[in-house]
A and B are shown apart, each in its own frame.
Chain A
């Protein structure tokens, strides 16, 4: 079976005071269909940058390397095309959209993606049914659907809202950028369950995290350690436990 996502020798930089600052320095990574992979690494190693570059944020300049997603050149696609193709990014800091009704936003997004995928749009009733089921699983109140997108949401509510969007958009690859940060134990469990519910042969995830706890819930297939803009080590779930026990010092030494 072909790889879902294949990243080869990816270099990317960002403009810092008029000079390019290289953040990704040759990332290689492969995610097969149906697998959950985790990326761990110290702050500033390029984890979030990798997620942004994969999602198509324009501020980043890809200087070399390639990314294929379901056999297509991902880097050649607009952000919305990537979303339609099945790539979802759960933001570390979800963005507020004042005055934009959360349910309306969700329905617009779902139907934009469905249109692009050649599927029929959901009508008001069909949408409501689907969203009600999803919010129930995430212990979200109807009230959150009526409010403006992420405005006045607590940290936990924002993260749950991300998982709600993910559930509704049915991605083939979800990138979760520290979705577990700032969550209490209960919220973490709910969010983790939300992700776990999506596990299927047609769903893969790339989970960026600092914490063993989320991984305990998700049971990842592979762990990758990132340092100084590269993947420096990959292994099974035991790698996460090693990091939990020893920290990143030894990996940083490898990356140097």
Chain B
């Protein structure tokens, strides 16, 4: 049975607004004392056996962070965060970075199994015993990050034969210091914004991907982030570099246990695409959203940015955001190379008391650069969702083009959906199009579906998936199916 079918049945059994991924793994942890200070940073750096330059980089970021204030322009409301009241490092007590899967704590393997993330290459590779009616899963290389460390990375051998480096970033610091040093912070500088500075100071793990010249990465890469420990923030850092004419498709997924407290997740993702390179970055974000009264949930404050450095390079962000109590996230593209292409496809779902302020920035620097933004916002319950996007055409961006489409769908009458587009054009030959719609699921549509035998929840699921079709079709096939189901689960209890 695919994980997602199991998920649905389990959710149905438990009743409404149950979060299937909300279990906690009981495992012995190595946890840094609470608090954020130079000591903490030195401890993280020491635990990871980092070189001096990286420690200095972290400390500089920390100093910058001390002078910065939390941004307040987003349309989200939450009590002040006490940054001293959290742990900044938590790792399963076992040497990080096991050589093979056999060394991974079986408890961890079970956790990922429960989450539907198979870490057994064997099982994946064999892939023969596919239950009837199910499609065979293609092998996907997985980097599993548990709290502050990567616990397993699969298919590294197959990938390295193709010349692709896929490893935890903490290992890349040791094994490929020149590459990391060259690119780390080159797209999102340490002092870029409050959360990026915080991340730069205390980031713990994340993925590192390097695809050399002319190589098409032979399989999908994915990272699975899991917050488990209590009172712990997760600060992962991902860096993807794709050289001339190379390409990669990368997917990240995220879940966390159900807790009454709010937990902070402040990630930084940097992408670099050289000439004719293509990066497809997909996210299915399903952090614990809090309960139906708005208690608990993850604060998801994320900086994601890609640089299209080379001519004709392409970066495509696709995100399905269903989780988190608060989402603050604007995956962006810096379109520097001539004729480079940026894409942003987004579905953001909020239910109950969730708040999301998400969108993108398309910075057109080079000539003939193109960008497409398709953002679908779905609000239900008492939630509030905002699309916030910037399209900036710089003076040299001759003949640059942007097309933006923002559609909002409201379910019920106590939620909100907002669209805040910023357009700055400094080149008269640039063309910018913006379309926006707001709609509700109509009584007619619901009745029509129910008359054909669909339950209310199935009807909402079908209509919502139809609404999101343009974005979901951008996801890698098998993730699209899971995303569809996830949308439906996220909206359970939103009608009737």
Contact = CB atoms under 8 A, between A and B. Distances in A.
A83 to B, nearest CB: 4
B468 interface: yes
A124 B122 CA distance: 30
Q: Give the interface centre of A79, A105, A116 by most chain B CB atoms within 10 Å.
A: A79
Given A55-B451, A113-B453, A98 B466 contact: yes
B9 to A, nearest CB: 13
Contacts of A97: 445, 448-449, 462-463, 466
Interface string A47-91: 000000001111100000000000000000011101110001101
Contacts of A89: 451
* 4 tightest A-B CB contacts, nearest first: A99-B466, A100-B466, A113-B453, A109-B452
Contact of B450 (A78, A96, A105, A123): A78
Given A84-B453, A123-B133, A57 B447 contact: yes
A112 interface: yes
Interface in A197-248: none
Interface residues of B, number: 24
B467 A99 contact: yes
A95 interface: yes
Nearest to B461: A108
A148 interface: yes
Contact of A116 (B442, B449, B453, B456): B453
A188 interface: no
Q: Give the interface centre of B447, B451, B466, B467 by most chain A CB atoms within 10 Å.
A: B451
A169 to B, nearest CB: 7
B305 to A, nearest CB: 30
Given A97-B445, A99-B469, A80 B454 contact: yes
A169 B452 contact: yes
A207 to B, nearest CB: 17
A238 B21 CA distance: 66
B463 A79 contact: no
A112 B463 contact: no
A32 interface: no
28 contacts: A58-B443, A59-B443, A78-B450, A80-B450, A80-B453, A80-B454, A83-B453, A84-B453, A91-B448, A95-B444, A95-B445, A95-B447, A96-B445, A97-B448, A97-B463, A98-B466, A99-B465, A99-B466, A99-B470, A100-B462, A100-B466, A101-B466, A109-B449, A112-B453, A112-B454, A113-B452, A116-B453, A123-B133
A2 to B, nearest CB: 24
B160 interface: no
Given A108-B458, A123-B133, A79 B451 contact: yes
Contacts of B467: 98-99
Nearest to A78: B450
Nearest to B466: A99
Q: Give the interface centre of B133, B449, B455 by most chain A CB atoms within 10 Å.
A: B449
A78 B451 CA distance: 9
Nearest to B439: A98
Interface residues of A, number: 34
A123 to B, nearest CB: 6
Interface string B83-105: 00000000000000000000000
Interface in A95-139: 95-101, 104-105, 108-110, 112-113, 116, 123
Given A83-B452, A100-B465, 12 more contacts: A57-B447, A58-B443, A79-B447, A80-B454, A80-B456, A82-B451, A89-B451, A95-B447, A109-B454, A112-B452, A112-B458, A169-B452
B448 A94 contact: yes
A172 interface: no
Contacts of B449: 97, 109
A84 B450 CA distance: 10
Nearest to B450: A79
A165 interface: yes
A112 B458 CA distance: 9
A83 B466 contact: no
Interface in A162-210: 165, 169
Interface string B396-416: 000000000000000000000
Contacts of B448: 91, 94-95, 97
Interface in B468-493: 468-470
Contacts of A83: 450-453
A165 B452 contact: yes
Interface string A144-166: 00001000000000000000010
Nearest to A96: B445
B412 to A, nearest CB: 15
A98 B455 CA distance: 19
A55 B452 CA distance: 10
Contacts of A109: 449, 452-454
Nearest to B448: A95
Contacts of B444: 95
Nearest to B133: A123
Nearest to A79: B450
Contacts of B447: 55, 57-58, 79, 95
Interface in B323-375: none
A100 B466 CA distance: 4
A83 B459 CA distance: 14
A78 B458 CA distance: 14
Q: Give the interface centre of B447, B458, B463, B469 by most chain A CB atoms within 10 Å.
A: B447
B440 to A, nearest CB: 13
A91 B445 CA distance: 12
Nearest to A148: B466
